[in-house]
Amino acid sequence: MGQMNRRVSHLIAGWRTGLSRPVLILQAGNAVNYFGYGLVLPFEIIYLQQVRGFSTSTAGLVLAATMGTSAIATPPTGALLDRYSAKALVVAGSLASALGYAGFAFVERPWQGFACSIVSGVGLGVAGTANRTLVVRLIRPEQRAAAFALNRVAGNFGIGAGATVGGFIVAAAPRLSTFQLLYFFDAVTYAGFALIVLAAVPSPRSEIATTTHGNGTGFRAVARDRPFLIVIAANVVLVVVGHTFFSNILPPFAKAHTPVGPAEIGIIILVNTSFIVIAQIPAVRVVARMRRTHAFAATSALFAVALLAVLPATLVHSELAATSVLAGVAIVLAIGEIAHILVLGPLVADMAPEHLLGRYLSLYSLTFTGSLALGPAIGGLLLQTSPDAIWWGGALAALLGGAVLLQLGDRIPDTLNQAPSRLASAPEAA
Name which of 35, 134, 36 is nearest 89 in CA terms: 134
Please report, to the nearest 10 degrees, the dihedral formed by the alpha carbons of residues 243, 248, 249, 251 taken in order.
110
Count helices and strands in the chain by DSSP H and E runs: 18, 0
Contact 83, 206 (CB under 8 A): yes
Under DSSP, is residue 26 helix (H, G, I), strand (E, B) or coil? helix
Measured at the CA of 84, the angle between CA 228 and CA 216, to 5 degrees, comes to 40
Nearest to 340 by CA among 283, 379, 269: 283
Q: Specify whether the CB–CB gap between 223 and 71 falls below 8 A.
A: no
Q: Give me the helix-helix angle, 86-104 and 21-40, nearest 10°.
A: 20
Query: Could you give the CA distance from residue 244 to residue 259 in angstroms, rounded to a whole number?
Result: 22
Taking a C-beta distance cutoff of 8 angstroms, is the pair 71, 125 a contact? yes
Q: How far apart are CA 155 and CA 153, in angstroms?
A: 5
CA distance 74 to 3: 50
CA–CA–CA angle 337, 136, 131 (5° rounding): 75
Q: How far is Cα of residue 150 from the mean position of the Cα atoms in its chain? A: 12
**Torsion angle of C-alpha atoms 299, 303, 306, 311, degrees rounded to 10:** -160
Angle separating helix axes 110-138 and 86-104, nearest 10 degrees: 150
Nearest alpha carbon to residue 183 among 56, 280, 46, 44:
44
Query: Are the C-beta atoms of residues 39 and 161 closer than 8 Å to each other?
Result: no
Contact 53, 43 (CB under 8 A): no
Radius of gyration of the chain (CA): 21
**Per-residue confidence of the chain (430 residues) as pLDDT tens digits?**
555 444 434 433 444 556 778 888 888 888 888 899 888 887 888 888 888 888 888 888 888 788 788 888 888 998 888 888 889 999 999 999 999 999 999 998 889 999 999 999 999 889 988 988 898 888 887 777 788 888 878 887 888 788 888 888 888 888 888 899 999 999 999 999 999 898 888 877 654 444 444 455 678 888 888 889 998 888 889 999 888 888 888 888 888 888 888 788 878 888 887 888 888 888 888 887 788 888 888 999 999 999 999 999 988 888 899 999 999 999 999 999 888 888 888 888 888 887 788 888 888 888 877 777 788 778 878 887 888 889 999 999 999 999 998 888 778 777 544 444 333 333 333 3
CA–CA separation, 274 and 41 (whole Å): 16
What's the start-to-end Cα distance of the chain, in Å? Answer: 25
Residue of 152, 130, 132, 129 whose CA lies nearest to 284:
152
- In sequence order, the 6+-apart residues with CB closer than 8 A to the CB of 258 are 313, 314, 316, 322, 326
